[in-house]
Homo-oligomer: A and B are copies of this chain.
Amino acid sequence: MQEAYYVAKSIRKTKTVSTESTKKRVFHNSDDCPIRNVVAQIGDKWSVLILFALVEGADRFNSLKSRVVGISQRMLTQTLRDLEREGYVNRTVYPEVPVKVEYELTSMGRDIVKPLYQLVSWAETHHGEIKRSRKAYDERN
């Protein structure tokens, strides 16, 4: 396992005596921790679905709205703005009448989709196992 700056060696300055002093601490500092700062961002309710929709190519606002089933206009706007701000999505306005706005993945957007696919692929494979685990847990609790 690689050692990252948000995972620092435990500086045993606390008074608690432990038999295991080799374990690392895991920080969540919002500014400097990629986990909270990057993963948590795309871990919201709609980001991944929008990114996956855009993998198939540039698309317009209302087309996305109908393809990302269940999303509200408000959340589509807001999540697209967030994704644009992060650098995953480009927004292009075509000054026609009526106006046309296209969203497409940046190179970084196409890039982050790869590890996301790994994760989603894992999730698909283990989805049944997870559902069984939940069911078993709920039955014994």
Contacts and interface: CB of A to CB of B under 8 A. Distances in A.
Chain A contact patch, size range: 35 or more
A26 B44 contact: no
A20 B63 contact: yes
A138 interface: yes
Judged by DSSP, the binding face of A is: helix
A86 B14 contact: no
A52 B124 contact: no
Given A29-B69, A38-B127, 14 more contacts: A2-B117, A25-B67, A25-B68, A25-B69, A26-B67, A28-B49, A34-B123, A38-B120, A43-B43, A86-B133, A86-B134, A87-B133, A108-B129, A115-B118
16 contacts: A16-B66, A23-B57, A23-B59, A25-B66, A25-B67, A26-B68, A27-B70, A28-B49, A34-B124, A34-B127, A40-B43, A43-B43, A87-B133, A111-B126, A115-B119, A119-B119
